[in-house]
Structure 1
């Protein structure tokens, strides 16, 4: 998988798409590669959000 393809998969992951759906959307790519991108993105997301919270008051 080239860098552009990796970025496309990561973009889909960033929208909240589940792993099984990614497999369906990208049948030409290895499930292992897709899973690695999915897990890496979600792990980085968790590491970057530790201790950070957002509170919005819409009143």
Structure 2
């Protein structure tokens, strides 16, 4: 997967798309690569004291 493809998958993750849906949307990419991008994005989201994360969709 090239950098542009990685950024596209990450953009889909940022909209709140779940992992299983990503697998369906990107069948040409390996599930391992998609899962890695998904988990890296989720791991970098801020977690607040009450355990919640914040995601903003400005579309």
Could you say whether these structures have the same fold, taking a TM-score greater than 0.5 normalized by the shorter chain as the test?
yes
Q: Which residue of 2 aligns with 1:4?
A: 4
Q: CA deviation at 1:24?
A: 0.1
Residue segments in structure 2 that go unaligned for 5+ positions in a row? 55-59
CA RMSD of aligned residues (A): 1.7
Give the CA deviation at 1:42.
0.1
Give the TM-score taking structure 1 as reference length: 0.78
In the superposition, relative to structure 1, how do residues 50 and 12 fare at CA in structure 2: closer, same or farther (>3 Å)?
Answer: same
Aligned length: 50
Q: Unmatched 5+ residue regions in structure 1? A: 55-59
- Offset of residue 43 of structure 1: 0.1
Where is the helix percentage greater, Structure 1 or Structure 2?
1
1:17/1:51 CA distance change after superposition, 3 Å: closer
